[in-house]
Amino acid sequence: MNRPPAVAIDFGTPDSPNSSSFEFEEVGYPDPYHQHQHQYDPESYGGRANEETLPLHYMSEEKARRRVRAGAAAGNGSDFDGGAAVSGNEKEQFEYQEYDDAGKDVYNKPKPYNGQRISSGRGPSQPLPPPTTITEFLLQNTEVIVPVVYTLLSCWTRFHRIGASNTVVWDEAHFGKFGSHYLKREFYFDVHPPLGKMLVGLAGLLSGYDGSFEFKSGEVYPDTVPYVAMRVMLATFGVLMVPLAWFTSVELGMSQWACHLTTLMVLLDVGWLCISRFILLDSMLLFFTFLTVFCLTRFHNEQFEPFSIDWWVWLFFTGISIGCVTSVKMIGLFVTALVGVYTVEDLWDKFGDTRLTVRQQFNHWAARVVCLIVVPVLVFMASFKIHFLILNHSGPGDSQMSSLFQANLEGNDFYKNPLDVAFGSRVTLKNMGWGGGLLHSHVQTYPVGSNQQQVTCYHYKDNNNEWNILPAWNDKQHDPEGPLRYLKDGDIIRLSHVPTGRNLHSHTVTAPVSKLNYEVSGYGNLTVGDNHDYWQVEIVDDTKRGSVGQVHSLTTRMRFKHVALGCYLRAANAVLPQWGFKQIEVSCDKENNRKDAHTYWNVESHWNDRLPAGDMKLYKSPFLRDFWHLNVAMMTSNNALIPDPDKEDILASKPFDWPFLHLGLRMCGWGDNQIKYYLMGTPVVWWGSTISLGVALLTFAVYILRWQRKYNDMDAREWDHFLYVGKIAFFGWAFHYVPFLIMGRVTYLHHYLPTLYFAVLMFGHVLDHFIFSSRRFSARTKAIVFGVLVSILVATFWWFSGVAFGIDGPVNEHWGLKWRETWNIYN
Amino acid sequence: MSSKGKLRQRNPQPEASTSNYEYDQVQEDEHHADIYTSPKSRSGIEKFFEGSQGSIIVVSALTALAFALRFYKISHPDQVVFDEVHFGKFAAYYITHQYYFDVHPPLAKMLFGLAGWFVGFDGSFLFENIGDSYITNNVPYVGMRALPAVLGSLTVPVVYAIMKESGFSTVIAAFSASLILFDNAHVAQSRLILLDAALIFFMSLTIYSYVKFRKYRYMEFTLEWWTWLLMTGFWMACTWASKVNGILTVFCVGVAVLFDLWDILDVRKEGHTMDYFYSHFLARAGGLILWPFIVYLSFFWIHFRVLTQSGPGDTFMSPAFQETLAGNELLMSSHDIYYYDILTFRHKDTKVFLHSHPDRYPLQYEDGRVSSQGQQVTGYGHNDTNNHWRIIPTKSLPETGRGRIVRNNDVVQLLHMPTNTLLLTHDVASPLMPTNQEFTTWARDDYTRHNDTLFKIQLAWDAPENEPFKSKSGYFKLIHVPTKVALWTHPKTLPDWAFKQQEINGNKNPSERSAIWYVEDIIADQYNDEPADRDEDQRPVKVPKSMNFFKKYIELQLLMFQHNAGLTASHPYASGPLNWPFMISGISFWTDNDTQKQIYLVGNIIGWWTCVVGLSVFVGIIAADLLARRRAMDPIPDSVRNRLWNNTGFFLIVWGVHYAPFFLMNRQLFIHHYLPSHLASALIAGSVLNFILSDTINYPISYATSKTRLRPSQYADTGFKGLATVLGYGLVLFMMFIYIAPLTYGTPGLTGEQVNSKRLLSTWTLHFAAKKTHDS
């Protein structure tokens, strides 16, 4: 089975008189780590002058840069006979002596120059002779024309009928509203990082929207909201997915046919199309995911010349792109993991390369640490910095943040709080742990434990957060007319919940979630109570004033010690089940851990008619503190988004439903007069790509078993290329899919959309491997297969395009859309 | 992404070959020293212990000690402890032959039943509550506890033997064995009627057999080779049949076999043919898949043979299965249903009757939604004439006879008898759930809504098309014909306007598992008479039916998987896998308030932390070796490296495969799930100690044949320092064991201060702790 290669292959041996003509294909082949000689032989050009009669080959430069060999079909004169493009391990020495440049564009060869490299990129190219016919023009410029055509097609699909539905569709209700908050500069809270929503805000700003609309789900847009312009701007990200897919598959070294197919699948998938046409974050998430993969593959192709300008540029852009994708949605961490694994493998290879000096090794490591860790983190933090800078007014998300941060927001009146807290004051208490909320109670009772009234930590402002500071039962009762008694360190108090009159209480009942702690509940009323209602104030410090004797609002950090049990009032990030409305559990911690910020509380709002309004000058809240605080709060809320067994969420789906498109998702109301959007995919794309994953794994298994028996199915470079593309696609898919299986949170169909990209790349790769780059098939066969596949693709897209463009009229009149029993597309 | 590295090695580099075979390695490195090649130059201590006499003395001492520690005061406490509630009960069911259902396979429980039967337990005591007295109930519990104690004690010599067979010296083997011997968690777990002692014993035997099997690898297809192959399979099957976690042992042997087969496939190794590979492959498929599966099935076969009577497990099973049990209710009182019978319907999960009464839904609910204001349909827990429904056909019927029987997939109407209205559902949101449809009734003589009153009877368990619909056994779903919703209810009750009865609504997911109902009783037939004994003739009287063993097995196995995944309720002593190796938290098994005695499952903390250190050092060695070899350096002698990779690496796989899957599980997890991994980590710790004390190993240890090329042998020598280290360490381990022992044996009682002093980690939630002063 040791089959000789059907065609001799070469990528430029220095001695060859036909030595390649381009800077970029010259470098790196024999030995990437040493300065190489440029051996141009002017004679050879002269000798080949009559080759001008050769057919002008399109895109020779691009092909050469990707080191495309001519396949068996080279003689057939097809434009598409690229054969397996090989990239990957450029360190291999080549044994092949002949160079196949049958398809070279001889005009495109630069004049030899003095051997000094100008830059690491492409060599200077000579102007082409003017094309004489249109065909010639097209062929000469295919490299530009193809992506331009795809971009234009993409514009049409993305923008066509984009304003057809004049109502708030699906999650536009959220993201439109968040965009409005940026325009109004009001602080809000959401589980997603801010970059995507800031771009929504920017789109609103550019289109002249004033932020006044509330984006209630299903509502009709008023004239003041330029929703079409906003949708178009955000859909532009979706438009750019298509050319990115083209360039990525080119960089991945797929054959022309496979590149076209991959791009067409991205262009014609109704899922990607549908999600890109609204005011949502997904188009940006997808765009940056695609961009990251593109940058990575581009960087990979620069690997033969480390530390060149291009190498740095693409490494750096990979980092920027990672930063952007994670700043749009945390899902971006999955593509980051792909880059991470690629880098680890790459560094492991470098580590084993004993020719590299220690200094070079170090530089490789340092470059990646800087570009792939430091840069993304900076981008991520920068997006939060801008977020804080824009949102400087008080808004609905205030209570998620520390009291100090809130006090710095415009429109907030904390600074008017009376400074000194006294008995009889009405206060709200803020937990000072990362992501801490306000001490809260409501009439609902615990269904477990003592069955007394619930006490929780809550992140929104509401009367149920208010507590009265009262003296202990056995102490002199509070007299509203008597002398003021200020709250001091060591005072024993009772906290009475203002709306319900219950006292903050703890007892030896285990807390519902943190089983090691005691439960905290609301017990008794204004007259009934016992000594388990007593809490001793322990002042930790005062962030502003040095003195710790007396409690001040906002700045004093204090702890509440339960007098009878000796435990401390604590709220960590444990979330109560549905009966507690997913609020944060408050418990009494038996361990006295003085360093535990989750037992620190401060007075946030403070009302006392008998005390003068304060006029505090406040410290700025440090950025890093706010940044971390907000991220912990985001994490906590995200973890609280678990499926609710009591409530059936008809939109949610399980990860197993996605790869074979078991379910679709109705994005809006389904009335006959509404324009209806149904989130699903083009079935052939989803099914085919999923099947291709299995095929790829099986193929890999067969090859590796045969390899163990020493069958040489491919030469080392083909094998490396097969693995490289396969790994990018497979690991990208797995990293974007497997976490959803493990995650506890509720999942939706659109979570599969970034994952799908990798499945589609795998589809392209598998088709490329078995058909388009295979030596077994003639160009004619390939053309037929290509034609059939494209027609199926276009036909299915056309069939289903309505679900993305909007279905008019009664849905049941649109025949033939229900390809699977489970699709709830019809009423 | 590792195949790249392998590919690179396709270039011929003979000295860097990754061969795993010890015999084709030429010892050419500088580590090779004469001192290790001659057994004569070993120290006297080593010579004594390596002899068979020394080895026997050591293993006998260890075993005797193991028995002593596990049987010490085994009769205490004379009460039901922790999960004895379950496993004691299951053992009793084997004695009384009553059918029960549990998520774990039957072997270990059958052994308990056998032990109970031996010591004269009659199965009448049902282990209902933790703390129930054995003495007053006259249960011979010591005999039943002796079984796990024996198995737990025998685990110690097996661990010793694993290490000896792996080529470590006697002192190292004794070290690993003592980590298990003096471990409080292993001791506590083996003194009670729990499954883990059996699981761990069988698992250690599986490891032992596999190590033996590998040692015979140059004598392929000989009697010894086959014996140990089949032994591996047998013990593997026993492990899996003892507890559901035992499947992990099967996986880890599977992983090891895959590595093994991969090597055999390699054509560079002596140029084996594919036939040679296939014969190896088939031998393993037979010995490690087919044969264990037969063994595993045979335990189920015995299980079904023993449990022939109706018991508490009946309701988990399908009607066909239930009818195989003597005395089962379905078997005794299931009747065919005829059209126009008056029936009561009951919901399978919540046991409420389908009920209706003349009161109507309020027009507007509290949240502002509106209803149809139709007659209420609710779920009611008590018997009442408002639960009576008549089943009306939608097809023509013969006058009499069996043609009038209701069958699977028939479309019917249900007539509410007291109000003379028909059951109906329509696209109106139900009172409590906006996503589900409201159920109401409609006047019988008003035909305008005829279509909305049509329902399909769909029998559960994929019944065939013409299956008759029976009372009791006929579990069914009632599917609404026009809208495809299923009649469904859930434990939430409606407000006062419906007398706090349970809500009934239409679930849009017709595959919902909780939408199953059955006919509780046939009240009357079409003439309003008591139903006659209409089907007595066709049913042989009260004789259990038979059912194919494989059908029974498959049904039970699927149910076991489903219920195992369903164990997600939280438990105060459940802990996350990350805590386990560090012994962060234990489990309170039993307490006695009067004497302040308690049993708290917690490991010997010195032993456990030694194992963690051993694991980390081993991973460190492996990583350092990988890095060094990547940089073309070669710090470890080849024979030692091969031993580390192939033998200790196998232990690492055992550890990892028994540990990692728990991270993915959502069910409640306890520290005792780590005990199999802890055993593997004790093996690794022994290997690491050997590596630290001596840079040699006993080599070769595999049985050679005429085909194998003999290589210069080596002998490990830990010398006096090895003996001293192990003895000293064993003493420390023993002292720690004694210190924690009151928590392990549950006696003597401890004062509050003593409890505080035993609480070595603040996370151990011991009972009866003295109140801490908070002045510090």
Q: Tell me the ipTM for this assembly.
A: 0.71
**Cα–Cα dist A235/B252, whole Å:** 50
Q: Which residues of B fall within a CB distance of 8 Å from A744? A: 666
Structure tokens at A516: 């090691």
The A-side interface with B (CB below 8 A) comprises 89, 341-342, 345, 348-349, 351-352, 354, 510, 515-516, 561, 566, 591-592, 646-648, 650, 704-705, 707-710, 716, 719-720, 723, 727, 731, 742, 744
- Tell me: the pLDDT tens digits for B723-757? 899 999 999 999 999 999 999 998 888 888 888 88
pLDDT tens digit string along A614-661? 766 666 788 898 899 899 888 888 877 776 654 556 778 888 989 999
Higher pLDDT, B233 or A395: B233
Q: At what angle do helices B247-265 and B649-657 cross, to 10 degrees?
A: 140
Residues in a beta bridge with A468:
A426, A496
Of B274, B632, B765, the CB nearest to A516: B765
Helix H, strand E, coil C: the string for B178-212 is HHHHCCHHHHHHHCCCCCHHHHHHHHHHHHHHHHH
pLDDT, tens digit (0-9, with 9 covering 90-100), for B255-275: 999 999 998 888 777 778 889
Q: Any idea which of A16-25, A786-795, B397-406, B703-712 has the lowest mean pLDDT?
A: A16-25
Nearest C-alpha of chain B: how many angstroms from A206? 40
A634 contacts: CB under 8 Å, gap ≥ 6: A190, A191, A192, A193
Give the ranges where A678-752 is alpha helix by DSSP (H).
683-708, 716-742
Q: DSSP secondary structure string, A654-693?
A: -GGGTTTT---EE-S---TTS-B-EE---HHHHHHHHHHH
Beta-carbon separation of A716 and B630 below 8 A: no
3-state helix, strand, coil in chain B (%, to 5): 50, 15, 40
- Residue contact B772–A719, C-beta within 8 A: no
Look up residue B485 and give its DSSP letter. -
pLDDT higher than threshold 70 for residue B541: no
**Cβ contact, residue pair A345, B4, below 8 Å:** yes
Mean pLDDT along residues A441-446: 86
Contacts of A742 in chain B (CB under 8 A): 664
How many angstroms away from the CA of A228 is the closest CA of chain B? 32
Q: What is the CA radius of gyration of chain B?
A: 33
On chain B, the residues whose CB falls within 8 A of the CB of A515 are: 570, 572
In chain B, % of residues over pLDDT 90: 36
The verdict on a CB contact (< 8 Å) between B772 and A704 is no
SS3 B486: strand
CB contact under 8 A, A351 and B631: yes
- Nearest CB to A716: which of B7, B262, B774? B7
Question: Cβ distance A548 to A495 under 8 Å?
Answer: no
pLDDT above 70 covers what percent of chain A? 83
Nearest CA in chain B to A741: B664
Percentages of chain A per state (helix, strand, coil), in multiples of 5: 45, 10, 45
Residue A767: its H or E element = helix A753-767
State which residue of chain B sits closest to A721, comparing Cα positions.
B4
Omega within 30 of 0 (cis) for the link into B434: no
Closest to A427 (Cα-Cα) out of A550, A603, A600: A603
Cβ pair B572:A515 closer than 8 A: yes
Question: How is residue B678 written in tokens?
Answer: 């802890």
Between CA B745 and CA B749 the distance in angstroms is 10
Indicate yes or no: CB of A710 within 8 angstroms of CB of B267. yes
Give the residue from A709, A712, A715, A723 with the most B CB atoms within 10 Å of its CB, the best one to mutate. A709
pLDDT at A120: 34
For chains A and B, count residue pairs whose Cβ atoms are closer than 8 Å.
Answer: 60
Residues of B in Cβ contact (< 8 Å) with A650: 435, 508
Alpha helices for A472-588 (secondary structure H): none
3-state secondary structure labels for all residues of B72-85: CCCCCCCECCCCHH
Residue A154 has pLDDT above 60, yes or no: yes
pLDDT tens sequence across B452-503: 888 888 887 667 777 778 777 778 888 888 888 888 888 888 888 888 888 8
User: Of residues A30 and A762, which shows the higher confidence score?
Assistant: A762
Residues in chain B closer than 8 A to A516 (CB atoms) = 763, 765
* pLDDT beyond 50 at A426: yes
pLDDT at A83 over 50: no
Cβ–Cβ below 8 Å for A648 and B5: no
CA-nearest residue to B273 within chain A is: A709
Cβ distance A648 to B433 less than 8 Å, yes or no, reads yes
Whether B262 and A648 lie within 8 Å, measured CB to CB: no
Using the structure block, give the residue that is written with the tokens 């139903």.
B531
**pLDDT of the residue at B535:** 54
Give, in degrees to the nearest 5, the angle at Cα A98 between A95 and A104. Answer: 130
pLDDT tens digits, one per residue of B51-72: 788 899 999 999 999 999 999 9
CB contact under 8 A, A648 and B631: no
Q: How far is B58 from chain A (nearest CA, A)?
A: 44
- Beta-carbon count within 10 A of B526 CB: 14
Q: B646: which residues sit within 8 A by CB, 6+ positions away? A: B20
Counting residues of chain A whose pLDDT is more than 90, the rounded percentage is 38
Give the pLDDT of residue B403.
72
pLDDT band at A372 (very low <50, low <70, confident <90, very high): very high
SS (H, E, C) A439-472: EEEEEEECCCCCCCEEEEEECCCCHHHCEEEEEC
Give which of A360, A508, A590 to mutate to test B binding, by max B Cβ within 10 Å. A590
pLDDT tens per residue, range B516-527: 888 888 888 777
Question: What pLDDT does A377 receive?
Answer: 96
pLDDT at residue B25 tops 70: no
